[in-house]
């Protein structure tokens, strides 16, 4: 097709529709070259452009104007041009700038991961692990806020917030009346419900899932267990709510469902938003039809001790006798 | 075949002479060795009463530490249990109440913390994993007992005694 744009990211060429952002073009390629995103969320309109973790270097603007872009650009907000060439992980400049961004995001972060319920599935933790420094260079006092209850099921820890605005966009978009937003400006900005009014909406629980850090957490799961000790299982139920299809992930510990979340895709974004009844009130196995264990990336701490994937050694692939001997394990690896 | 290392010594077995065939000189010599040990310093100690000094990198029974204000350091993050290769550690976390601020350092604490000393291999990975410097394997040898259930050590046995106020 003629109207497709050809863009090269880290040497891999892909053809995408006009108007696609560099980030989404990279996601179509997939793998290591996808820039990390803390604020951009494909399901939320208008999100992105705030955290600057997805910055990339454009070495060739387009076929018609091959000059490079003078500065690093936010890939979630920059649309592709035909013939554009982008460097992400192949450019040391980008990696250095990104680690600077991570340091910036961590300036006011309390680093209370041992206490935080998000630890183990936290985007900021992953980012810090990959790009962060071992020690903080910040010597001043971090901003602190009191904990705020948003309704009786959601807890807001403003200390941990990185001001990605995802929850605000969720409130704008998923719920039909805006009941929370951002107060103050700059360093004093703070996610808040106006005069701490309880969020009263059937979908308010989704702000927990979109939050990339532990700022918005599930009060029904508060300090119940660490995520890496729970086992995620995909399940569904016939939800009465017309907008909710009841497809969720149950987080089991033993026989108990400790937490219900929406299903997340490989980029950590929820597939479909779920209603509060599914999320907070249905915590018995009898409420759900269980499908299969959720796939967790091998690199995630949640997969530790779960032994879900068995990677056959190359020698097994070649040797028929060994294939016969490891039959059970091989069948397991095919299943999921 | 020729030896590769040249360390091999071939024993020559001569027939025993008269003194050797009588065995008595050998028995006297052996008894003499035994007797000489009566007058030497004993190389063992009477264990539970007497104890040897441990080396500085000794890893013994775990202890859960308190901070300088006497509050428990452990925040039940679960990293010790995650790192434990023997899966000996379990815990249940709880939220600190406002009046318990003097007892626990962080807003979350371990309400139950159990180590199964029969499973534990004293590898020290929990100590390495702890982000709060709360667990150290600085205790003595774990004492023996009769029942398996008595080897599951709870917080009553693991947490350090509170600081004495002078």
* Per-residue model confidence (pLDDT) at position A336: 44
Which residues in chain A touch residue B95, judged by CB atoms under 8 angstroms apart? 222-223
Show which of residues 75-114 on chain B sit within 8 Å of chain A, judged by CB atoms. 75-79, 81-82, 87, 93-95, 106-108
The Cα–Cα gap between A318 and A75 comes to 43
Q: What is the ipTM of this complex?
A: 0.76
The Cα–Cα gap between B76 and B152 comes to 18
Taking phi over 0 as left and psi of -120 to 50 as alpha, with beta for the rest, A307 belongs to left
Report the residue of chain A nearest B73, measured CA to CA: A114
The Cα–Cα gap between B100 and A328 comes to 52
Report the residue of chain B nearest A227, measured CA to CA: B78
User: Is residue B80 within 8 Å of B123, Cβ to Cβ?
Assistant: no
Report the residue of chain B nearest A219, measured CA to CA: B95
Instruction: Give A115→chain B minimum CA distance, Å.
Output: 6
Asked whether the beta carbons of residue B75 and residue A115 sit closer than 8 angstroms, the reply is: yes
* Per-residue model confidence (pLDDT) at position A91: 92
Q: Which of A128, A223, A225 to mutate: most B Cβ within 10 Å?
A: A223
* Per-residue model confidence (pLDDT) at position A86: 94
Which residues in chain B touch residue A301, judged by CB atoms under 8 angstroms apart? 82
Q: pLDDT of A217-241, one tens digit each?
A: 999 999 999 999 998 999 999 998 8
- Asked whether the CA dihedral A163, A164, A167, A169 is positive or negative, the reply is positive
User: Is residue B138 within 8 Å of B60, Cβ to Cβ?
Assistant: yes
Q: Is the pLDDT of residue B146 over 90?
A: yes
Which residues in chain B touch residue A222, judged by CB atoms under 8 angstroms apart? 95
* Of the partner residues A114, A222, A305, the one whose CB lies closest to the CB of residue B75: A114
Q: Which of B72, B73, B74, B76 to mutate: most A Cβ within 10 Å?
A: B76
Rg (CA), chain A: 22
Q: Which of B72, B78, B90 to mutate: most A Cβ within 10 Å?
A: B78
Asked whether the beta carbons of residue B107 and residue A114 sit closer than 8 angstroms, the reply is: no
Q: Which residues, 6 or more positions from B154, have their beta carbon under 8 angstroms from its beta carbon? A: B112, B113, B114
Instruction: Give A317→chain B minimum CA distance, Å.
Output: 30
The Cα–Cα gap between A3 and B54 comes to 76
β-bridge mates for residue B110, sequence order:
B93
> Alpha carbon of A176 to those of A170, A233, A262, B56: distances in Å?
10, 30, 20, 64
* Per-residue model confidence (pLDDT) at position A195: 44
The Cα–Cα gap between B43 and B45 comes to 7
| Pairing, β B108-116 against β B89-95 | antiparallel
Instruction: Give B23→chain A minimum CA distance, Å.
Output: 60
* Per-residue model confidence (pLDDT) at position A177: 65
Asked whether the beta carbons of residue B106 and residue A115 sit closer than 8 angstroms, the reply is: yes
Q: Fill in the DSSP letter of residue B150.
A: G
Residue matched to tokens 């259930």: B149
pLDDT band at B59 (very low <50, low <70, confident <90, very high): very high
- How many Cα neighbours within 13 Å face the side chain of A158? 20
* Of the partner residues B76, B82, B94, the one whose CB lies closest to the CB of residue A304: B82
Of A49, A1, A53, A56, nearest to A25 (Cα)? A56
Report the residue of chain B nearest A118, measured CA to CA: B77
The percentage of chain B sitting over the pLDDT mark of 90, rounded to a whole number, equals: 67
User: Is residue A246 within 8 Å of A19, Cβ to Cβ?
Assistant: no
Assign 3-class secondary structure to chain A: CCCCEEEEECCEEEEECCCCEHHHHHHHHCHHHCCCCCCCCCCCCCCCCCCCCCEEEEEECCCCCCCCCCCCEECCCCECCCCEEEECCCCHHHHHHHHHHHHHHCCCCCCCCCCCCCCCCCHHHHHHHHHCCCCCCCCCCCCCCCCEEECCCEEECHHHCCCCCHHHHHHHHCCCCCCEEEECCHHHCEEEEHHHCCCCCCCCCHHHHHCCCCCEEEHHHCCCCCHHHCEEEEEECCCCCCCCCCEEEEEEECCEEEEEEECECCCCCECCCCCHHHHHHCCCHHHCEEEEECCCCCCCHHHCCCCCCCCCCHHHHHCHHHHHHCHHHHHHHHHC
Asked whether the beta carbons of residue B107 and residue A119 sit closer than 8 angstroms, the reply is: no
* Per-residue model confidence (pLDDT) at position A311: 63
Q: Within chain A, which residues score under 70 in pLDDT?
A: 1-2, 175-180, 193-200, 305-312, 329, 332-336
CB atoms within 10 A of CB A266: 10
* Of the partner residues B87, B93, B132, the one whose CB lies closest to the CB of residue A223: B93
């Amino acid at each position: 097709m003629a109207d497709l744009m050809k863009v090269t990211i880290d040497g891999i060429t892909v053809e995408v529709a006009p108007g696609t952002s560099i980030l989404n073009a990279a996601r179509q390629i997939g793998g290591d070259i996808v820039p990390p995103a803390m604020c951009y969320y494909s399901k939320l309109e208008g999100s992105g452009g705030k955290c600057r973790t997805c910055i990339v270097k454009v070495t060739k603007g387009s076929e018609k104007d091959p000059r490079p872009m003078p500065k690093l650009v936010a890939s979630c907000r920059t649309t592709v041009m035909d013939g554009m060439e982008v460097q992400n992980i192949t450019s040391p400049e980008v990696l250095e700038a990104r680690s600077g961004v991570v340091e910036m995001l961590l300036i006011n972060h309390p680093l209370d991961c041992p206490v935080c319920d998000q630890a183990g599935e936290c985007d900021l933790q992953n980012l810090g692990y990959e790009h962060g420094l071992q020690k903080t260079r910040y010597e001043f006092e971090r901003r602190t806020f009191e904990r705020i209850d948003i309704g009786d099921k959601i807890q807001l820890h403003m200390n941990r917030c990185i001001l990605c605005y995802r929850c605000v966009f969720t409130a704008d978009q998923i719920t039909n009346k805006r009941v929370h937003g951002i107060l103050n400006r700059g360093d004093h900005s703070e996610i808040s419900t106006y005069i701490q009014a309880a969020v009263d909406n059937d979908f308010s629980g989704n702000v927990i899932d979109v939050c990339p850090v532990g700022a918005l957490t599930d009060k029904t799961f508060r300090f119940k267990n660490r995520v890496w000790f729970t086992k995620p299982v995909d399940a569904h139920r016939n939800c009465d709510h017309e907008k909710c299809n009841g497809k969720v992930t149950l987080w089991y510990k033993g026989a108990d469902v400790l937490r219900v979340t929406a299903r997340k895709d490989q980029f950590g974004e929820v597939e479909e938003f779920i209603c509060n009844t599914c999320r907070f009130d249905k915590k018995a196995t009898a409420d759900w039809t269980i499908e299969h264990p959720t796939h967790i990336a091998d690199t995630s701490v949640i997969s530790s001790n779960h032994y879900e994937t068995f990677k056959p050694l190359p020698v097994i692939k070649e040797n028929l006798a060994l294939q016969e001997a490891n039959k059970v394990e091989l069948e397991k690896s095919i299943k999921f | 075949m020729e030896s590769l290392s040249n360390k091999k010594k071939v024993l020559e077995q001569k027939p025993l002479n008269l003194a050797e065939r009588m065995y008595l000189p050998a028995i006297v010599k052996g008894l003499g060795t035994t007797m000489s040990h009566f007058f030497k310093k004993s190389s063992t100690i009477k264990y539970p009463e007497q104890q040897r000094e441990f080396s500085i990198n000794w890893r013994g029974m775990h202890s859960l530490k308190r901070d300088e204000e006497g509050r428990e350091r452990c925040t039940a993050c679960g990293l010790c249990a995650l790192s434990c290769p023997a899966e000996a550690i379990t815990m249940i976390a709880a939220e600190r109440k406002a009046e318990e601020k003097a007892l626990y350092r962080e807003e979350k604490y371990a309400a139950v913390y159990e180590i199964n000393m029969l499973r534990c291999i004293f590898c020290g990975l929990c100590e390495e994993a702890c982000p709060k410097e709360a667990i150290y394997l600085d205790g003595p040898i774990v004492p023996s007992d009769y029942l398996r259930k008595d080897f599951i050590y709870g917080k009553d046995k693991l947490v350090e005694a509170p600081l004495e106020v002078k």
